[in-house]
A and B are shown apart, each in its own frame.
Chain A
């Protein structure tokens, strides 16, 4: 079956522009997560959706970052007025919470470069 997909795979933008990153989770997965990975570093949690509600937005670094999810499907992460420090790979993951392992399946990521 299809895995988590993300688009675009690469995005180059100019400082101050807005960008939208898209994530298509695995069909049937109710939980969706966004993470950020700066060059050479581990993953930082940004936001978690259960269905289309976001019970945990604690990782969003500033009010320039927002995310939404349509039903139990596609999610978009929007970064307004991008800054050079926003350059990173943005990874999306989905899971089907049922206790136990609740493994998160990751997409290939979107590499964002802010010039």
Chain B
């Protein structure tokens, strides 16, 4: 079985500062994918970034980067130069490849950017 743990229920960060959202995962499968989604108050789920278990380099998408430490089974999301619009819930999720395509989600971190 897969499990995602997000230990930060809420975070407050000053605008323009960088922020790291923690995510650890557990799986015995060697091939998997890790995802981060953003959920604003409107409720939509917005895909941010993806990291494959065999990817050699950390994923980056604009201001988002994923700090992937495979041995530690961690996949932290780093948001650089935070903006007021970054205030939202952030979910880490995992998919084990081959067969079962479902995403297993963590409980989320509520990020609030302070002006």
Contacts and interface: CB of A to CB of B under 8 A. Distances in A.
Contacts, number: 58
Nearest to A95: B101
B107 interface: yes
A21 interface: no
Interface stretch (B12-20, B41-49, B65-73, B76-84): B41-49
B43 A42 contact: no
A25 interface: no
Interface of B: 33, 35, 37, 42-45, 47, 50, 52, 91, 93, 95, 99-108
Contact of A102 (B42, B93, B101): B101
B44 A41 contact: no
Contact of A45 (B47, B91, B102): B102
Contacts of A104: 47, 103
A13 B83 CA distance: 39
Q: Can you list the 4 inter-chain pairs with the closest CB atoms, starting with the nearest?
A: A106-B45, A42-B105, A45-B102, A43-B105
A59 interface: yes
How big is chain A's contact interface, by range? 20 to 34
Contacts of A108: 42-44
Contacts of A35: 103, 105
A103 B44 contact: no
Contacts of B45: 43, 91, 93, 106
